[in-house]
Structure 1
Amino acid sequence: MAMHIALTFDDNFWAPAYATMRSVCLFTHRRQDLVFHLCHRTLSDTHRADLERIGEEFPVELRWYDLDRSEMFRDIAARMPENKRLSNIVYARLMIDRLVGPEVERILYLDCDMLVRDDVGHLFDLGLDGNSIAAVRDTIGAFITGGRDLKNNRDLFDPADYYFNAGLVLIDIAAWREADIIGRMEAAYASGVMQRIYYDQDLLNLIFKDKWLKLPWRWNVIDARHAHEGLDPAILHYTGENKPWGIFSGMLQSVAYARLYRHVMTNELFYRFARHRWKRWWKRKLGLGR
């Protein structure tokens, strides 16, 4: 059975996308079943060639979706609230049902700031028990929705309700399509709700309230720290300020599996990505663009 996995990224995040994909491949025996759906934008030929090396090392299939050529994505990204930290590439996962072919019945969405160290086949073998999706409860979900003193958006979210992190979502495509995600987002934007909430993650929690299967925490360890290593996490999610692709030892001491991450990304790509980020930083510093 094919294991379909979707990632979304732009040209400044190609190396972490590579690391996430490669970690999936390294930690499963079902490599021949893997199909990666790569939803990208602004991707250079050089960086695409780096990603294509996944298919040279492992017997996997890569399917490419150039979002810059998608009129629907361009329209949505231009009109919805801008995600200054992540860019509006985050909205691409909402239209995943409209990108993949009819043969795809279930797909696993993964953020590209993740390191996988267990077999994702376990997730594909799960029954959803009548739910539309499966995900992991967010450790600070109440603060995300409620903000300071947990008083915001109480007309939309009850802090007593479980709230999931959308960095990992196992999706039943038929149920996702039936939920009409894009239509619901358009309605939320027209009513002013989208302008109040935490981008697409809040929206998905509103749409799938009481319709998601709660996965064990180890499948999405949010803000993965060094202390998590002793708890046998399956997927590390580097949501904190310190990232495993940093090059300063002080920053990495608190990040889980930083050394493993560097070798999963490969040393060559790790240091090339570091130079890429330094170049971007200096351009911004000198006012030369992103």
Structure 2
Amino acid sequence: MHDIVLTFDDNFWGPAYATMRSLCLTSTDPRSLRFHVFHTGLRPDNRAIIQSIAGDYGAALHLTDLKQSDILGARIAAFPRIRMKRLNPIVYVRLFLKELLPAGTARVLYIDADTFVRNPIENLFAIDMQGKVIAAVLQPDRMHCIAGRDLKARSCFSMAEPYYNAGVMLIDLERYGQVDFIAGIKDLPAEELEQFYYDQDILNFVLRGQFLELDPRWNMQNPEPAHEVFDPHILHYSSDSRPWWPWTRVAFKRTYRHLMTNAHFYRYRREQYSRLVKGWLGLR
């Protein structure tokens, strides 16, 4: 089996469906895919759409509603408070995969829900990880991620060292399960921890030297139409230029609409318009 983890909330049901569908459509054997979906509550109609992946492609699917359990509560409480508010705390699921996945799972792919897989994921699972814990792609704007506004120096990161994006990671779960992330950051000063970019900074700091650098095509971030010529394996729409907004220029935009399917795409876009307007009016 090829184990794949996604985490998202009900605001991302459409992109998550598109990501999962793209994995199945381009797989050499969709029945070998086993999805582990950790979410924070899905409306029944949205849940049914996610579950349709299993019936349509024969993939295995396990859904876990984090609001119905305390899987993350105590674990997240042990991590430092971070000032950044943009990301949902469910991203911390990535730090506890060894505990959350079935015993005997050797490798797992963590993938963000704002991605579009264009080539067989089996090719990624088959790589030689050379004894590393994680295989991932470098973060293109690592200087800004590391140093933030005015590129201020931070004590725990060096701009001379590689820094990886955590949105697409192939993980050696046995080695990963031996890592104590809490112990790895406990000696850092509070003012440094407050600046952390959630688990991406934690992973890069604690696992320094334990990443295998992947070809950028396995996580083509912020892809524009000009990037289509590189035949990217995975597109990662990680900026504000999302393929569901009509005013954006992103790679394979038309294909993405059909990937989500017209019916789901236009319904999801209407929901996003509504959220955008409510945000402007301060109603959410």
TM bracket (short chain): over 0.9
SS at 2:208 equivalent? coil
- 1:1-290 mapped onto 2 (5 Å cutoff): 2-76=1-75, 80-81=81-82, 83-153=84-154, 155-184=155-184, 187=186, 191-246=190-245, 248=246, 250-251=247-248, 254-289=249-284
Q: CA shift at 1:18, angstroms? A: 0.4
Contact in 2 for aligned 1:223/1:238 (Cα 8 Å): yes
Rounded to whole Å, the distance in 2 between the matches of 1:88 and 1:263 is: 30
Counterpart-to-counterpart distance in 2, 1:215 and 1:245: 28
Q: Tell me the alpha carbon deviations over residues 168-195 of structure 1, each in whole angstroms, 9 at most, x when there is no partner.
A: 111111111101235545x268845431
Question: Relative to 1, partners in 2 of residues 1:235 and 1:151: Cα closer, same or farther, differing over 3 Å?
Answer: same
SS at match of 1:109: strand
- CA RMSD of the aligned region, Å? 1.9
SS at match of 2:193: coil
Structure 1: distance between partners of 2:244 and 2:195: 32
Check conservation: 2:82, 2:195, Cα contact below 8 A: no
Whether the 8 Å contact between 1:27 and 1:117 is mirrored in structure 2 is yes
Q: Distance in 2 between matches of 1:260 and 1:57?
A: 19
Aligned partner of residue 269 in structure 1, secondary structure: helix
Q: Judging changes above 3 Å, is the alpha-carbon distance between structure 1 residues 151 and 31 closer, same or farther for their aligned structure 2 residues?
A: same
Unpaired runs of at least 5, structure 1 = none
Deviation at 1:197, TM superposition (A): 1.8
1:13-63 Cα distance to aligned partner (Å, 9 max, x none): 011000000001111112111000001112121111010111121010001
**Structure 2 Cα separation of the partners of residues 228 and 136 of structure 1:** 16
Distance 1:125 1:217 in 2: 17
One-letter amino acid of the counterpart of residue 44, structure 1: R
Q: TM-score, normalised by structure 2?
A: 0.93
| Amino acid in structure 2 at the alignment position of 1:272 | R
Distance in 2, matches of 1:285 and 1:240, equals 19
Counterpart code for 1:175? R
Judged with a 3 Å threshold, the aligned counterparts in structure 2 of structure 1 residues 229 and 269 are, in CA distance, closer, same or farther, namely same
1:98-135 alpha-carbon deviations (Å, 9 max, x no partner)? 11111211100001110110111011111211111100
SS of equivalent to 1:174: helix
1:238-261 C-alpha deviation (Å, 9 max, x unpaired) = 112110111x2x32xx20110111
Deviates more, 1:67-76 or 1:232-241: 67-76
Deviates further, 77-86 or 221-230 = 77-86
**CA 1:175/1:114 → structure 2, altered by over 3 Å: closer, same or farther?**
same
**Aligned mates of 2:150, 2:86 — CA distance in 1:** 23
TM-score by length of 1: 0.91
Tell me, yes or no, if the aligned pair for 1:77 and 1:89 is still in contact at 8 Å. Answer: no
Q: Distance in 2 between matches of 1:111 and 1:171?
A: 14
Task: Tell me whether 157-166 or 90-99 shows the greater mean CA deviation.
Answer: 90-99
Q: Which amino acid aligns with 1:220?
A: N
**What is the deviation of 1:283?**
3.5
Pairs aligned (count): 282
Query: What's the CA shift for 1:84?
Result: 2.7
Distance 1:156 1:113 in 2: 29
